[in-house]
Amino acid sequence: MPKVISPFTNAIFLARRGSDEENDEFTLADLPFMNPSDWVSLFNILSRREDHEILLEHVKKLLMGYILEVAKLDVEAAAVLDSIPECSPKKAPSDLKKRRLGIIRSDDWNVAYPTKEGNESVKRIFFLRDKHLYRTPVLKKILDLINKTKVNSENDKRCFNDMLTWYIDFRKRILLLVPKVFKKVLKL
């Protein structure tokens, strides 16, 4: 009788995690239940070792699916993968013309900001919840604007700074993975 070899290779990993650095044990079967940030770390560890090629393929498949889901929302990830995000920004409030630039409205976490359209300066509204629909240079300009506006409270500024800084870093990590995970990338 022929010997059957399983196409699924499982492995046990031991990782030190948390501030108490306890040893955690996990297997490939645990990957779908893990934080995607852990997938990225595991991918980076495995890609430095030649003896884990089969395991690396499992992690790559998870990351591919994750990045494709991110691209359904994120404008920069979608552009790299030559797709279009499947969501739209929140509508501008009716009082947009009355709003002063750079002042954070914490009731709905938004701020009015200027942008150029042709030769004209136009006032737009940025909702923090729509951060994924703005390119990184725009997010950085909004951060600069709210930090220069003296009437914004330190807590409101911190909220915007923390969220946008985290999102810019998250986006950068995802975009760095794209050429490593996908065999062919249409736009970079």
Where are the domains positioned within the chain?
12-71, 96-170
Q: Across 18-109, where does the E strand assignment appear? A: 22-27, 104-105
Averaged over successive runs of 10 residues, the pLDDT of the chain (188 residues) comes to 54 68 75 79 78 76 88 92 87 90 93 89 92 95 96 95 95 90 60
Direct distance between the N- and C-terminal alpha carbons of the chain, in angstroms, rounded to an integer: 51
Separation CA 23–CA 79 (nearest Å): 39
Question: Structure tokens of 131?
Answer: 């951060």
In total, the chain counts a number of residues equal to 188
Distances (CA, A) of 84 to 80, 131, 168, 187: 10, 16, 19, 13
What is the amino acid identity at position 92?
A
Instruction: Give, for 127, the enclosing helix (H) or strand (E).
Output: strand 120-127
What pLDDT, on a 0 to 100 scale, did the predictor assign at position 188?
Answer: 41
Q: What CA–CA distance (Å, rounded) separates 90 from 104?
A: 16
Question: What is this structure's pTM?
Answer: 0.78
Q: Cα(87)–Cα(85) distance, rounded to whole angstroms?
A: 6
pLDDT for residue 186:
46
